[in-house]
Structure 1
């Protein structure tokens, strides 16, 4: 299905990138980590080509790539991918947006896996107590609250 879509719509179409990301998730779910990783890398590149490097879909795919990097036994690469996602989401959706907060938790897991206990306690941007009180406190007015991070509806 993915190959047919690539032939008919090309690599620079958002649907092709979405299908690649979804296919990567399915491959990961059935345990084919090597194939999932290769497709996830393609999905990141496709989203960058379609939307540019600073789009929430790119950061969502970077997060999916981080999961695969961790599963492949490369927590340092996972940390870099999650740092990229967190930094980008902070910039485009706001530091306390729930997508950014989820990435901060992922990054804390990366720090913990690497034995970096200080980073695990406060990954990248310290205390998020305000977000716990009001999750929309710092979301820029221009950022829609219903924006999906991943095309498959996940966050």
Structure 2
């Protein structure tokens, strides 16, 4: 390993939106360009401590995302708003065909625990969450989750 390279580097988030199809939630990624614009707006809000809503046009300006609200709105037609997430950690259940992003608060907890594990080189850490789920960070590349839902956990 290159000694100049830091042990821990936070992952670069990607933004997703939820589309409801036949009573199932399907999480779809925004394009790289849209995701970068959403991340830039989010970073600006965090740096300035702003609490005013910021709107970012996405998907060829057919939708607007209200960044603080984490909602995506159709511009030219009536459609229910859809949830938007800033994503870094994902899971895949036994019957899932796609990875699903964790809610942001849960992802932030996982990322903080991962940073500590990498920095201190302390693995096999067990993280217990109020939802009843337990995540074990085995090493930098393997994490498992047990609890109400069996899942494979991955970082972006």
User: Do they superpose with TM above 0.5?
Assistant: no
TM-score, normalized by length of structure 1?
Answer: 0.30
- In proportion to residue count, which structure has more strand? 2
- In proportion to residue count, which structure has more helix? 1
